[in-house]
Amino acid sequence: MHLVLNPLHNRPSLVPAMTTKFLPSSDLRKRLREIAKTLQRTMPSPNMELDHRSPWELLVATILSAQCTDQRVNQVTPSLFRRYRQPAELAAAHLPELEQLIRSTGFFKNKAKHLIACGKAVTERFGGQVPHTMDELITLPGVGRKTANVILGNAFGQPSIVVDTHVKRVAKRLGLTRSDNPDRVEQDLQRLMPKSQWTAFSQRVLLHGRYVCLARKPQCRTCPVYRHCPWKEKGPQ
């Protein structure tokens, strides 16, 4: 993720520099509409892959997902949520015990500290309820814009564009942004598409990057948006 407050989410991408042909904004919007239609057809239900039953559980799972697969997080969270059901319980957690529970997600020492501090903040400053504005969410320990957008879009139904490493990579390859900065990528995508489509589109792009437009070996032969992709290094189809 991408605020200095959260080093777990600020690790630089290992993807090599990309060269992509850029079009004027009107042409970009037209191409983006075609990309969005295609992804909607191929992914009608772009489901969030982190298991959760509440905004609080999604917040915890998203913090754990830094530098870790969603599948691994989903293996860890059932026992974690049985042991610590509410923010106040996590706020009072014994650090070594919590570290052991989340060890397999990687960077477990920092994550455990963030989770305890986040539990305290939610309990003491927000009455045990996860806040539902960007300004409030990014004041929580371990939470940057990426995590906040995950919560806003998936827990509270607010239009949001999640920019993780997959979204950043795919957006640049598709010529939708020139930037490597997640905040700028978010702004570029916001300008190009209607607000009502932000959440679903960014989730589709995330899944497309996770399973098709891979960092090192993109699956160009099976890419549904291949003909709309101007990336000069794309493979044959």
- What whole-number distance in Å separates Cα of residue 73 and Cα of residue 101? 11
Q: Which of 146, 168, 172, 188 is catalytic?
A: 146
Whether 164 is catalytic is yes
Tokens representing 84 are: 């610590």
Whether 146 is catalytic is yes
Radius of gyration of the chain (CA): 18
- What whole-number distance in Å separates Cα of residue 157 and Cα of residue 84? 25
- What whole-number distance in Å separates Cα of residue 125 and Cα of residue 131? 9
Tokens representing 11 are: 């690790």
- What whole-number distance in Å separates Cα of residue 212 and Cα of residue 205? 10
Backbone angles phi, psi at 30, to 5 degrees: -65, -45
Q: Which of 164, 168, 172, 188 is catalytic?
A: 164
Total length of the chain: 237
Query: Catalytic positions, please?
Result: 146, 164
